[in-house]
Amino acid sequence: MTPLVALELAEHIVADGFAARQDALSTLNQAATERDVNPVLIQVVSDDNEPRPVRERALGRLVVQLSRHAA
């Protein structure tokens, strides 16, 4: 997953919610795992029990880290 696609996904998640983008979120988490992104961020983004603002903040940081690893 390219950084631009990850950023677009994050924007859709903020607008539509995490549940609306579960499949794409799984793909993002897999790409983040393969690129050694902080596993805590991946865990928080994946955890439905975390408050939405916490998940969104973690998602933003995950996208930033993913972008750094892609460069």
What are the domain boundaries of the chain?
Answer: 3-70
Single pTM value for the model: 0.86
What was the pLDDT predicted at 70? 72
What was the pLDDT predicted at 69? 78
Are 37 and 69 in contact by the 8 Å Cβ rule? The answer is yes
What was the pLDDT predicted at 2? 79
Residue range 37-41: mean pLDDT, rounded: 95
Tell me the DSSP string of 14-54. Answer: HHH-SGGGHHHHHHHHHHHHHTT--HHHHHHHH-TTS-HHH
Structure tokens belonging to residue 70: 């892609």
What was the pLDDT predicted at 65? 92
